[in-house]
C-alpha cells in the first residue's frame, strides 16, 4: 500500500511539473543536447558501479571470499530491488543474500551493509556542506540548510566514531518510538555495535573505505555536472557541489517512488539561478537514469535474488 501511495505522489508531482513547464521546449532541449557529453555522463554509471562493487569487496572480511564479480552482481541486483521495494530494502536484501551464499553471518552481513550506507550518506553530506559553504547565493533558506546538513554530518560522524554516543542515541530513540519501531531500532543497534567492533579493529582499512566513499560521491556529483553540460546549460562546479546533493537528499525522503518527483522539484527550485525549469526538468530525467541504468543492468541477476526477497518479507 505504501508503494502505491508513493507512486501516486510521484505522478501527481510530475503532472504538476510538466503542466507548468513548456513540454515542447523540454523535447527540444534533448534534441539539441551535446551528444559527446551525453554519452560520457551516462557512461559514468559504469565506473561508479565498479568502484562501489570494489568497496563492497574490501568491506567483506577475507574469509568471506567475496569475488569482484559477485560484488558487482550484488550491487546491480540491489539496484533493481531498490526501484521496487520501499525504504532501500534492496540493500537489506543484499545482506541476506550474502548470508545465504555463506559469505558472512547474518548479523555481520547486515552490519556491513549498514556501514556501507552510512559511509554513502556521510560522504554525500560532506560534499553538500563543502558546496553550501562555498555557494555564493546564500539566503536565509540556504543558511538554514547549511546548518541542518552540517548538524546531520556531525551527528553521523559521532555515531560512527563514538560507541558511547551511539548507545545514548539508540536508548533515546527507543524511548520516543512506537512498539513496532522499537524492534527495528533494536536490530539496528545490534548491527551498529557489531559494526563498531568489526570496522574499528582495522583503522587503515576504515580510512581506505572512507576515502573511497568520498571519491564515489565525487563521481556521482561530477556525473550530474556532466548532465548539465550535455544539456548545453551551465552551473559552476562548486555551486553544483551544493545544489545536486540537496536534490539527492530531497529524493531520499520517503514520500515518492525512487525519489521521482521530489528530486525533480528540488532541481527546478535549486538550479533556478542558472537555467530555466524545462532544462531542470530534463536534468531530473537524466538524474533518474542514474538509478534506472544500474537497475536494468541488474535484471539478469534478479532471479537468484527472488528467494531472498521472499524470505526477507516473511521475516518482517
Query: What mean pLDDT value characterizes the chain?
Result: 86
Tell me which residue has cell 521530489: 262
SS3 assignment, position 86: helix
Supply the pLDDT for residue 136. Answer: 84
Q: Tell me the HSE value of 185 on the side-chain side, using a 13 A CA sphere.
A: 17
Q: What percent of the chain has pLDDT over 90?
A: 44
Supply the pLDDT for residue 193. Answer: 82
Q: How far apart are CA 223 and CA 82, in angstroms?
A: 20
Q: How far apart are CA 250 and CA 246, in angstroms?
A: 6
Tell me which residue has cell 536565509: 140
Q: What percent of the chain has pLDDT over 70?
A: 90
- Cell numbers that stand for 98 in this block: 550474502
C-alpha separations of 13 from 256, 261, 295 in Å: 9, 5, 23
H helices of the chain, in order, are: 2-20, 23-31, 35-43, 45-59, 68-84, 89-100, 106-134, 140-161, 163-175, 179-199, 203-230, 237-251, 262-270, 277-298, 303-315
CA-closest candidate to residue 277, choices 241, 211, 230, 231:
231
DSSP for residue 231: T
Q: Who wins on pLDDT, 166 or 231? A: 231
Burial (CB count within 10 angstroms: exposed 0-12, middle 13-18, buried 19+), residue 211: exposed
**How much is the average pLDDT of 295-312?**
72
**pLDDT tens, 1-51?**
666 788 888 889 888 898 888 888 899 999 999 999 999 999 999 999 999
99, 109 contact by CB (below 8 A): yes
**pLDDT tens, 96-130?**
777 776 656 666 777 888 888 889 999 999 999 99
pLDDT of residue 176 exceeding 90:
no
Domain boundaries, the chain: 34-310
**pLDDT tens, 79-91?**
888 877 655 666 7
- pTM of the full predicted structure? 0.89
Q: How far apart are CA 204 and CA 111, in angstroms?
A: 19
Amino acid at each position: 500500500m505504501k508503494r502505491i501511495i508513493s507512486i501516486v505522489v510521484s505522478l501527481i508531482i510530475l503532472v504538476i511539473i510538466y503542466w507548468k513547464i513548456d513540454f515542447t521546449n523540454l523535447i527540444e532541449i534533448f534534441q539539441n543536447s551535446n551528444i559527446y557529453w551525453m554519452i560520457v555522463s551516462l557512461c559514468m554509471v559504469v565506473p561508479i558501479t565498479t568502484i562501489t562493487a570494489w568497496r563492497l569487496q574490501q568491506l567483506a572480511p577475507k574469509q568471506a571470499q567475496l569475488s569482484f564479480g559477485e560484488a558487482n552482481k550484488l550491487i546491480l541486483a540491489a539496484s533493481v530491488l531498490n526501484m521496487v521495494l520501499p525504504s532501500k530494502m534492496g540493500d537489506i536484501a543484499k545482506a541476506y543474500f550474502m548470508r545465504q551464499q555463506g559469505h558472512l553471518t547474518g548479523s555481520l552481513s547486515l552490519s556491513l551493509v549498514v556501514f556501507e550506507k552510512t559511509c554513502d550518506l556521510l560522504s554525500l553530506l560532506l560534499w553538500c556542506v563543502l558546496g553550501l559553504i562555498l555557494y555564493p547565493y546564500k539566503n536565509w533558506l540556504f543558511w538554514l540548510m547549511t546548518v541542518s546538513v552540517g548538524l546531520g554530518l556531525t551527528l553521523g560522524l559521532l555515531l560512527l566514531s563514538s560507541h558511547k554516543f551511539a548507545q545514548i542515541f539508540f536508548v533515546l530513540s527507543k524511548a520516543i518510538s512506537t512498539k513496532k519501531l522499537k524492534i527495528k531500532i533494536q536490530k539496528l543497534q545490534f548491527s551498529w555495535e557489531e559494526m563498531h567492533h568489526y570496522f574499528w579493529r582495522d583503522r587503515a582499512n576504515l580510512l581506505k573505505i572512507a576515502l573511497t566513499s568520498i571519491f564515489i560521491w565525487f563521481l556521482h556529483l561530477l556525473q550530474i555536472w556532466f548532465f548539465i553540460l550535455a544539456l548545453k546549460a551551465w552551473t559552476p562546479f562548486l555551486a553544483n557541489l551544493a545544489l545536486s546533493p540537496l536534490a539527492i537528499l530531497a529524493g531520499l525522503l520517503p514520500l515518492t517512488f525512487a525519489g521521482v518527483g521530489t528530486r525533480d522539484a528540488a532541481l527546478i527550485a535549486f538550479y533556478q539561478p542558472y537555467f530555466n525549469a524545462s532544462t531542470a526538468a530534463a536534468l531530473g530525467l537524466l538524474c533518474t537514469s542514474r538509478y534506472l541504468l544500474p537497475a536494468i543492468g541488474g535484471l539478469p541477476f534478479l532471479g537468484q535474488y527472488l528467494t531472498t526477497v521472499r524470505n526477507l518479507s516473511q521475516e518482517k
